[in-house]
Structure 1
């Protein structure tokens, strides 16, 4: 096996492939530069409406401690940035979940929040398939353990088969990075391709491909 420092040049074709399928930016990084924190998955439990409802989300996925051990078996990863076409006014985006879910929210704010999510879901529908395509490209280039992670919870089923405990789309469903504790804001910053947070204008979304 080649040394880890040789990997970025070997995998440069994946950066190009990512841009060709619509990514705003892409960069090969060392797997050791992926920032994993226990507090990230805590946010899933405390602030996400998908918690416990999807097999690709906690508590059904590896814990941050488990994922740290998995990362030790990888040398490299591809960090991918996508841009959502959705946009909301600053006073709406700062409380987007409240205006979206709270029945008592002002009608105009609720309408803007609903439009934001509709535009976001429509415009980002190709991002997960794009990451699967990058996984396929990496796999066929000789990386049998290539595995994509996606931004946002799985959208494949209206209701996930959590009661049965088995995903009915295992070849297409992928885990969001934050579900296993990846701090994507810190990881992107460390990689020299920072994202705007808090969100301004069009949200910048990060996805990850483990390669080796």
Structure 2
């Protein structure tokens, strides 16, 4: 397959732009360091958004389909952010949606609700930053640049999945795990590790494919 003759250092303008958009770290990596695994999408099946969003499984490319797509890209930009949400040890290890657990204490539910509200609010900012990076790459001639996001789409209160038409198709992007990207392994192999369980402020990571 013929690729555009681009050197990694020629993409440093995207690293600079990511830092201007308040990313705490960004790095250009070859796409062979983007790890795609079928087991990743098993986590999606346990999510409350499974089948309810047009940007989530089973409404997105399968893992096998995405592997073929990834072969058409040579580089990716890994972008790490730092959320203003702060998780203490109790919330960090608690299951998602703890705020709805009737068996939990009121204090725990309130702390969990506050944490996830702040986390998801910030995820919208991450989406806008990734879209800006996608546009920046496009304007420099990388017309097939496409952003992925951390976490499921939250542009609409309820996705228009029943009618099969995205109301914000120019902005909605697929979560990286929804197509099988193992972000933990990808980040670790690129020396930008993600820490689990969360300690303090989460550091969500997104990826931009470039070509």
TM-score, normalising length: structure 2: 0.95
CA–CA distance in structure 2, aligned partners of residues 162 and 123 of structure 1: 24
Deviation readout 1:114-139 (Å, 9 max, x if unpaired)? 01012212333311000000000000
Q: Retained in 1: the 8 A contact 2:27–2:79?
A: yes
Stretch of structure 1 that moved more, 119-128 or 175-184: 119-128
The whole-number CA distance in structure 2 between the counterparts of 1:206 and 1:188 is 8
**TM-score, with length taken from structure 1:** 0.95
**Whole-Å Cα distance in 1 between the matches of residues 132 and 97 of structure 2?**
35
Give the paired residue count.
209
Q: Distance in 2 between matches of 1:123 and 1:157?
A: 15
1:14-163 alignment runs, 5 A limit: 14-46=14-46, 48-97=47-96, 99-163=98-162
The secondary structure found in structure 2 opposite 1:83 is coil
Q: Distance in 2 between matches of 1:123 and 1:43?
A: 22
Contact 1:7/1:76, CA 8 A, preserved across alignment: no
Q: Distance in 1 between matches of 2:7 and 2:196?
A: 30
Q: Report how far residue 192 of structure 1 moved.
A: 0.9
State whether residues 78 and 209 of structure 1, in contact with CA within 8 Å, keep that contact through their aligned partners in structure 2.
yes
Unaligned runs of 5+ in 2: none
- RMSD value, Cα: 1.2
